[in-house]
Structure 1
Amino acid sequence: MSTSIAFLICTEAGPIEDYSLLLVESIRKFGGSLKDAPIYSFEVRNTPDISQKTSKALKALDVVHVREFLNNKYPDFAFANQPCLGTWAEENLDADILVLLDSDQILFNEPEEVLLPSEYDIGVRPVFIKNVGSEGQNDPNEEYWQKLYEIVGNRYNMFVTTTVDKKNIRAYWNAGLVVVKRNLGLFSNWKNNLEKVLESKIQPRNGGIFYVSQTTMAATICAMTENVWTLSPQYNYPISLHNRVPESEQIRSFDNLVSIHYTNSNKFRDNGLDKSLASLNNLDRSSQKYQWLFEYFAKHWTASNGMPI
């Protein structure tokens, strides 16, 4: 029996519209056997409508756009959008697997691993750098994680190795790409736990509320399942941190990547994606997919600041 999937993205008025369009274009072009999989785009806050141009483009790419105010309890906290839209998908879709993607991702090859081995419930990548993560006892961030576990629960004592600075920390995964079996109910649990954590007002020592949603997701996973598949390094590759990735682990051609995540975006995007990519070391600029991306920039994005036109 074949496994069905659905891609989930968040699209709000402004630059994110154009990031979403680039992501969807890349899925439809490079997604292989999954290129025609259903894609659902969400506006979940009472913000200005996306433009008619974007709406028409999404429709032309066979994307279902859902405008429903799902993030109504914490509408000023954009990171609550993810578990809110994911909960809607759990309740309203019949796909076996839900694939949540940040809009600042670009797909370059068929994402075969999102189909998940049968024994796993979730597929994710560890966070890029330790930041608010905890290496355990005596770590300055440990107190926050213990408080988080008190609220959320922690059945499985898991650790991961960060992908860039190579720290062994309590299980803490990047929320930019989350693959989950729908019947697990991860998103509804994440949403409920996030509301509890926000009400408790606990926050990491450094970074404050910015990291609360992602850390709550990690704690929720640890409370629900130990069957977590670590996606290969070709997924959710931190392109904006490429120069900090150990040279032996740098992926130097878009042809060899499944998806890049141009997070850490203020610097990376505001400098212009074309200029930012040009600043990366040991990157194959002759690859077909690198050339496709630059042609996309030339057609849709201004060269001076990397922002959409």
Structure 2
Amino acid sequence: MALGIEPEEEKHLVIATIAYPSKNSETNAILLTESIRAFGGAMSNTPIWCFTPEFESSVSSTFKKRLDSLEVALIPFELGREAREFAFAGHVEAAANAESRALGQTELLAWLSPNTLVLQEPKAFRLKRGKSLGYRPVHHKLLGSGYGEPLDEFWTLIYEHCEVREDRIFPMRTQVEDIPIRPYFNAGSLVLDPGVKIMRAWLDTFLRIFQNPEYQRFYKQDTRYEIFMHQAVLSGVILSNLVVEEIQELPGRYNYPLNLYDEDRTASRPESLEECVTIRHEGFYEDPLWMEKIPARSSLKKWIGERLL
């Protein structure tokens, strides 16, 4: 270390996720929390909060016991009735609840979708000094807006309702296509300073506009607009509340999409999952032939297989 240069202070971190009362959701959350404890390195003992919405049914006793054995806090929360049937609304509510709980308890909160696996210590979760948000871009463009292309009607509405100024726009590149797009943040892998209250702004804005009649025609035109509405709103809220100097793009080995591995033609495609720090998936283990198909060593496949519900 050079003389006169102080090392950056290691910030306290909490990891939060969500689980619904279903076998698939519970399995995802188990794999996530188990992977943090097994492969998280110096972060393997990081506090983990698992939020679960209070429905007529609740998560299974087996799930509760597994979380308890991992010292993971299971935290019920109330999901507004108007949002229960809308895609990923529960994730938005849970993230805002996690942020509120984190205030005064931790300097950094990592919000991870439950269909995440941690395979190495996620050192980049300790954000650089002066950064309030760590993110990954979306995996591929889909409904996103190409950088340099005219802004379409959907994104024009998002920017209008989120009060996004033109000077906040900057280019980012998609994961598996490597093409430039306007900022479109992946909602399942975020690290943030809870004091900035980005998740609360996300929830407030989402609840204010997701049922707006102007968006209904998009939902009817293409169901993906409903599926990714939460992510579009998140992008607008981040751009409205933070300048580019306050946000930090996490490395490409974070949030790598296993489900898009065969579509990835970029030079950065990993040879095996063990090269990644965190990955995302779409329930690969439901395929009877998953052990033959996923690009991983036998030891990791065995580890996963032993932990499935």
Q: Bin the TM-score by the shorter chain.
A: 0.7 to 0.9
Query: Is the contact made by 2:184 and 2:235 (CA closer than 8 Å) also made in structure 1?
Result: yes
Query: Is the contact made by 1:106 and 1:260 (CA closer than 8 Å) also made in structure 2?
Result: yes
Tell me the residue number matched to 1:296. 304
The one of 154, 163, 169 aligned to 2:181:
169
From the superposition, tell whether residues 47 and 135 of structure 1 become closer, same or farther in structure 2 (CA, over 3 Å): farther
Q: Does 1:193 align with 2:201?
A: no
Per-residue deviation at 1:119? 2.2
Question: 1:50-104: CA deviations, max 9, x gaps?
Answer: 1111101101100110112144441112411222122222222221111111111
Counterparts of 1:129 and 1:219 in 2: how far apart (Å)?
Answer: 18
Tell me the residue number matched to 1:82. 91
Runs of 4 or more, structure 1, over 6 Å off, are none
Tell me the residue number matched to 1:304. none
Tell me the residue number matched to 2:292. 278
Count of residues paired in the alignment: 289
Tell me the residue number matched to 1:160. 172
Tell me the residue number matched to 1:12. 20
Query: Is the contact made by 2:87 and 2:227 (CA closer than 8 Å) also made in structure 1?
Result: no
Question: 1:219-242: CA deviations, max 9, x gaps?
Answer: 111111122211101100111111
Unaligned 5+ residue runs, structure 2? 1-8
Root mean square deviation, CA, Å: 2.0
Letter in 1 for 2:154: Y
Unaligned 5+ residue runs, structure 1? 302-307
Query: Is the contact made by 1:136 and 1:142 (CA closer than 8 Å) also made in structure 2?
Result: no
The one of 218, 230, 238 aligned to 1:221:
238
Query: Is the contact made by 2:16 and 2:48 (CA closer than 8 Å) also made in structure 1?
Result: yes
SS in 2 for 1:92: helix
Per-residue deviation at 1:48? 1.2
Query: Is the contact made by 1:21 and 1:57 (CA closer than 8 Å) also made in structure 2?
Result: yes
Counterparts of 2:266 and 2:141 in 1: how far apart (Å)?
Answer: 19
Counterparts of 1:157 and 1:294 in 2: how far apart (Å)?
Answer: 44
From the superposition, tell whether residues 210 and 55 of structure 1 become closer, same or farther in structure 2 (CA, over 3 Å): same
Question: 1:247-298: CA deviations, max 9, x gaps?
Answer: 52111133321111013x5xx45424xx346335xx4x44xxx51333431x
The one of 251, 267, 281 aligned to 1:232:
251
Higher RCO structure (Cα 8 Å, ≥6 apart) = 2
Counterparts of 1:57 and 1:279 in 2: how far apart (Å)?
Answer: 27
Per-residue deviation at 1:118? 1.0
Counterparts of 1:110 and 1:54 in 2: how far apart (Å)?
Answer: 25
Query: Is the contact made by 1:151 and 1:196 (CA closer than 8 Å) also made in structure 2?
Result: no
Tell me the residue number matched to 1:149. 159
Counterparts of 1:245 and 1:126 in 2: how far apart (Å)?
Answer: 15
From the superposition, tell whether residues 7 and 72 of structure 1 become closer, same or farther in structure 2 (CA, over 3 Å): farther
Counterparts of 1:117 and 1:240 in 2: how far apart (Å)?
Answer: 30
Tell me the residue number matched to 1:106. 117
123-132 or 65-74, larger mean C-alpha shift? 65-74
175-184 or 67-76, larger mean C-alpha shift? 67-76
Query: Is the contact made by 1:44 and 1:71 (CA closer than 8 Å) also made in structure 2?
Result: no
Q: Does 1:179 align with 2:191?
A: yes
Counterparts of 1:28 and 1:295 in 2: how far apart (Å)?
Answer: 13
From the superposition, tell whether residues 300 and 87 of structure 1 become closer, same or farther in structure 2 (CA, over 3 Å): closer
TM-score by length of 2: 0.87
